[in-house]
Structure 1
Amino acid sequence: MQRAVAQDQVLDRAYSLSPTEFEVLCKVVLGESLSFASLSVTPQSHDGGIDIEGRLDHDWVAADFGVQAKRNATDNTVGSDRVHRFAGALLDSDYQIGTFITTSSFTGPAVETAERLPVKLVSGRDLSAAMVDRELGVVSTDHGDEFELHDGFWQTLERSDEAIPASEVPLSPNFERMRAVLAAMRETDGTAASLRSWVNQGTLYAGELSDRHTYINANSATALGWARKEPPVGSRDVQRWGVTAAGAEYLDAELGSPRERELRCAAIRSVEVVELVYEQLRAEGKLSMDAIDSFLREETTLSGASVDRRGSTVRSWLTELPDVSMERSGHEKYYVYSPA
């Protein structure tokens, strides 16, 4: 299809996304358009009208950057009042500059208002043109002047909020290392190579993170709802991860603080397979390690060595909960439910 048709189809797909998916789409486009030292969605608990935040680092200029990303029907134009409110949100949260992205367009007064403020406006047409130019959501044909939709790009966006099946329960019991990988997602482009390099150079785990452990920890964070898989960009069919709003909130909580523990426990309880075992433990009051593994074997698609490896992670995550403890009796391990 011709460029104009490709832009129309990209805009239609963007409008069909959920609000969260659209925010991730805008984050991907921004990441490919500008040089950021960091870029992530904001925690929902205190976004204050800012959906994406970053640190712009370009040549000799650096500034904190806020974005509002809104899906609007084409006839629902954005007026000057919303631009004023966005500028106020930037000021309240100490951002120096900002961008308002919409799938529709802006009124004349809105454009005039933005020109007097440190605000850039991006209409749906601007967004779709930038995506086609950078081959985000589309791929060019051999001739270079024809395009087709990149199904893998859109499928990754649209299924990234789905719960990970029990058979894909990750293997990482180390929350501190997982947190380091999560922080790396906020500071890099989210590829495994970038995550590994950032963690190995600037954290307590310098030199310890292998390729395998990068994937294990990134997938663990995804299972907990702190990260999500993001679509490939351009012709680079490389897996990438980004921080979710829940993940940003977790990173903002001081490690070891009551708030961090609260968020960690809530995330653990949100993992389907952990919740299955937790409910069984509540019903029984006490389960042996073998009983938990047997339950996983019966109630999930896990089997054999997968139960041994992943069951260890499930049991480790269980003991993070305040009402679950582990006891020993001889050579046996038991997990005990003890409500406060």
Structure 2
Amino acid sequence: MENKKKLIIELNKKHSEMFQAQRLERELYLSNHPTKVVVFKCMDGRIHMPTVTRTPLGIMKPFRNIGGRFDLGWPLLNESFDQSIKKAVANGNRTLVLVTYHYSHGDIHRGCAGFHYDCEESKRFTENFRKQILHTYGENNGVVFPILVGLETDKDALIFHGDDGKILDVSTILDDSEKNLISIFNKLYPLMPERILNDLIPLVKGNIRCIQETRDNGKSLDQLVHGEWVLAVGKGFDWLHTPNMALIVGPYDPNIGEPIKTAAGIIKSNLENVETKHCCVSSEGMVLLSSAVYSDPAEKNRAKERTLYMNRLSQEIIEKNYPEMLKQMHSMAVVLNASTMEMELVA
């Protein structure tokens, strides 16, 4: 179990160094593509939008919950999302909101466990959330532009849902010239502001590269099926983008016990089916990793209290629902420096 803890610490160190090394690249990217990109996505460990779009770390603002289920009526989500919008507006920028769902073309049970592998229900729910954003911020306001995007995890292809029921699978695009992509997406989203459209195109180009790399290299079974062994709860997991390692539960759902319970159940299944899954999860057990973010030293002590609370709460939920998992569980509570993505162990 200590090996797993050490692996997480080393992984954070590696990705923190990468994040800091990419500072100039990130600043250059944002100067050329200033649109704020917010992503609502599932806690699934196989879903990492910077990877499938080949963008530098720190470009996208992620919100995670089981199945990509969200409601702007949730107080913390309402406030956090609105702060992102206002910050972008204060900097003179618009916001592109990617409301996502995911599925597997090859096997329904490699799809979204949060929706019991029902892709159509997942699409209906996320589309309703997209409409909720429109209703909240105004139809065709030109500042906040939410779109529904699917991710087919076998080939890492983004599926864009446009106006009038139009659907575009990026894996079907043959001509990836900027001129052609702008033409395609202009037709898909005729009301999308030009600035947002121009900043969407690099994400599409990155996805085309990712799809080609997946075609060339293929995917092993451990990349396709659930193999997560880390239950990550809280905020500050942008660095944790090793595929299929962690289920990440954000703090936004007022009934947070349910996504924690579901995530623990998935990991329990992973641990019980190590041999049949033939994947990266091992029988050594799981790690409960809670995290809170701070931006300046004055916030650090408050962040420590948040991560310790989330850790205690998660342990209580696991003990209540899966008491047998406690013997297989190692707990880590950390705080994360937002400027460096470097974490510090609290408990």
Give the TM bin, normalised by the shorter chain: 0.3 to 0.5
Normalising by structure 2, what TM-score?
0.33
Greater C-alpha Rg: 1
Identify which of structures 1 and 2 has the higher relative contact order when contacts are C-alpha pairs closer than 8 Å and 6+ apart: 2
